[in-house]
Amino acid sequence: MNNMTQNLLVELFVEELPPKALKKLGEAFAELITSSLLLQKIASADSVKTVYATPRRLGLHLSNVLVKAPNQPKSIKLMPKNVGFDASGNQTQALKKRLEKEGGYWPKDGDKLVEKNDGAITYIYLETTELGENIEGALNFALFHVFQNLPIPKVMTYQLADGWTDVKFVRPVHGLIALHGASVVPVTALGITASNTTQGHRFEAKQSVITIKDADSYEAQMLLEGAVIASYAARRESIVSQLASAASLAGIGLQAIDDEALLDEVTSLVERPNVLTCEFEKEFLDVPQECLILTMKANQKYFPLLDAKGKLSNKFLVVSNITPSDPSAVIEGNERVVRPRLADAKFFFDQDRKKTLESRVEGLAKVVYHNKLGTQGERTARVTAIALSIVKMLREATLPYTADDKDHFDVLASKVGEAARLAKTDLVTDMVGEFPELQGIMGGYYARHDGLRDGVAIAIEDHYKPRFAGDALPRNHTGTVVALADKLETLVGMFGIGNLPTGDKDPFALRRHALGVIRMLVEKNLSLNLLSLIQSACSGSAIWPDGWRHMVEVGKPPFPSVSEAIQEFIYDRFAGSLREQGYSAQEVDAVLSMRPARLGDVTKRLEAVRAFAALPESAALAAANKRVGNILKKVEGTVTASVNTSLLKEQAEIDLNAALALVQPLSDVAYSRGDYATSLTALASLKAPVDAFFEHVMVNADDAALKANRLGLLAMLHAAMNRVADLSKLAS
């Protein structure tokens, strides 16, 4: 290691930080300091960053940090030569003032003026040296940068010890360590001057004040003297290991529930984790396990234990922040705390089952959904109408159908109507009132208790799916139809009143709803036309309130209607999803620019485009297709895609027409049966006649009839080439 470099340690000692923000705060704190020091060239690309974050500290260890950044040559463009020097070659006042502005005085040792030609003008440049910053100045600037840009969820204002000065930060700061090797860097931040001392675990540190010997001893000293695992990643890993060990000891086949968000939050609550096994009375297992799991996770931050089949046991794990020699008091305390929570859940469950879901329908009229969109009762009526219209569209897409098909759709319509009408009734139950996250899930339980058909109960439970990226889709046809209707109602309602996502803000989760619609249409391969589906949801049968359709962004170009705006929104989400799946932007644009009505066909179209692009003829055909499109765009009026063979004069146009007559039927047959790859590859044989046409035929002939006929031939070619995708998008 260069004797001019040492490892750097920075630690900010604070009061307990918000646990849900700690991981992000720790990473940002370390990254902002590192990036600032790199920019000031006092750290290098070889510097290794180690992040520290606990409930009471944010920290960074950074290797290979210089005592002083190297000086850097700097060239400053001043002014044209004829402005900076007079006719005698003396400096003008303008140049002298500019030099004073740049350097304070002139000349300085090593500085010089040079002349450089910039086009037709000769400019004067100041060649100087920018002095490198020392570690104190660089770190002071880096800390200032941190406190300006740290992603603090909510700023807290507090007073310093002088009783007068106000400071704003996420929590009050009580200490600052800044060590370059073993030397304290005398920086100041938030009213605190850096030192080499900190505090360890609130209850289990060996001493109240810990003196850090040097930057490299911090982590070990904090563990041995302070009883603190300073590294967030190491602490999380310790919890994962202890959870697995405790679960295996608690019972054969038991494992802690897999919940990354809970794991992150618990890691942010403890400085030295100690996992303990607790249990509750088995009688509580009569309550739906989702209720028990949620109350243990959300309210107590416990890890429920599940058996190999995913069934909840009566044991759970607690991540404690203390490690007493006798943990029985801690275990008993946690068991005592969880008992009333589980008793509440059991009480809610028992009370809710005294009323049927049917009896709760009327109560939805008293629950406001949105001040511009009415009550949950009105929303339920809209979802039901949209769901039944989807069944009708599915029925029509199946025509002609057999008697068995008719019976199937009649039963489906009955189940869909019942499930849609009852889907929101659990919103007025005690359990969902206490735990909103259980909506839908509890509806399924109560539907089974009421003796409803299992398909209806499953649909009620599943109609919010997919709730998040990667979530399962509804399990049956009834649930799929109701889920589609529910998401479309939300999209149409919010677009209608102008509540659209902006930037990274999407309070009504419209992007997630759009992706849910896409996934159901694609993965269930539903024979539904996207635009027709949206237009049906926008129709009057959905009972939209007066004044709903007043969205200012819609009703003017490029979107003349709410339905078309939603269609574009969904295609935009679909494009992003497909790119994430590995399709190129060109491939996605080529297919989606055609606005395919059935989203279930899109993947097949993309694979066909990819296969076509691999053909040796593809580049030339794509370029020709683009050229044809540009020619047709410039034509005033409508071009009829037809050819009068008697007007074909040149051999190249006769050959192209003959080739098209041979290829198009083959391509059309393949297209009609959904064999998009064959439909596209059939076009490869058109390369030679297309090339010859553009080489030997003048499209814009003086003879109007001849010109119109050639444009008609090009229109036929364009239509044949762009059924599966817009091939011009593949042109480089």
Q: Decide if 27 is inside a domain.
A: yes
Give the per-residue pLDDT at 550. Answer: 59
pLDDT of 401: 65
Rounded Cα distance between 686 and 683, Å, is 6
pTM of the model: 0.81
CA distance 586 to 728: 10
What are φ and ψ of residue 697, in 5° steps? -115, 130
Q: Is residue 155 part of a domain?
A: yes
User: 272 and 345 in one domain?
Assistant: yes
User: Cα dihedral sign for 569, 476, 395, 386?
Assistant: negative
Distance CA 373, CA 380 (A): 11
Three-class SS state of 354? coil
Report the distance separating Cα 654 and Cα 639, nearest Å: 19
Domain end, chosen from 303, 324, 352, is at 352
CB 292 within 8 A of CB 342: yes
Rounded to an integer, what distance in angstroms lies between the CA atom of residue 410 and that of residue 395?
9
505 beta partners: 502
Are 482 and 515 in the same domain? yes
Whether residues 414 and 481 fall in one domain: yes
Only one residue has tokens 């999380």, namely 236
Residues 159 and 81 in one domain: no
Q: Are residues 191 and 150 in the same domain?
A: yes
Residues 210 and 327 in one domain: no
Indicate the residue among 352, 386, 407 that finishes a domain: 352
Specify the pLDDT at position 559: 61
The alpha carbon of residue 638 and the mean position of all alpha carbons in its chain are separated, in whole angstroms, by 44
Q: Is residue 720 part of a domain?
A: yes
Residue among 567, 534, 589 at smallest CA distance from 725: 589
Residues 447 and 371 in one domain: yes
CA-to-CA distance for 729 and 721, rounded, in angstroms?
A: 12
Residue type, position 337, single letter: V
Structure letter (DSSP) for residue 600: G
Residue 676: which CATH number? Answer: 1.10.730.10
Task: Decide if 665 is inside a domain.
Answer: yes
Looking at the structure, do residues 348 and 381 belong to the same domain, yes or no? no
How far is 221 from 62, CA to CA, in rounded Å?
17
Do 186 and 242 share a domain, yes or no?
no
CATH of residue 205's domain is 3.30.70
Q: Which two tokens stand for residue 17?
A: 């930080």
Number of folded domains in the chain? 5
What's the pLDDT score for residue 549? 67
- Domain assignment of residue 413, yes or no: yes
Are 244 and 155 found together in one domain?
no
Q: Which domain holds residue 303?
A: 232-352
Q: Which two tokens stand for residue 233?
A: 């990643």
The reply to whether 326 falls in a domain is yes
Angle between helices 618-633 and 704-721 in degrees, nearest 10: 130
Which residue in 570, 569, 549 sits closest to 561, CA to CA?
Answer: 549
The last residue of a domain, from among 168, 195, 224: 224
- DSSP 8-state symbol, 85: B
The answer as to whether 588 is a domain residue is: no
Mean pLDDT of the residues in the chain: 92
For the chain, which ranges sit under pLDDT 70?
1-3, 103-108, 401-405, 549-560
Q: Are residues 42 and 146 in the same domain?
A: yes
Residue pair 417/384 in contact (Cβ under 8 Å)? The answer is: yes
605 domain residue, yes or no: no
Rounded to whole angstroms, the Cα distance separating 484 from 55 reads 43
CA distance 445 to 459: 11
Q: Are residues 163 and 34 in the same domain?
A: yes
Given a contact cutoff of 8 angstroms between Cβ atoms, the answer to whether 270 and 302 are in contact is: no
Cα–Cα dist 565/588, whole Å: 20
Rounded Cα–Cα distance for residues 499 and 646 (Å): 58
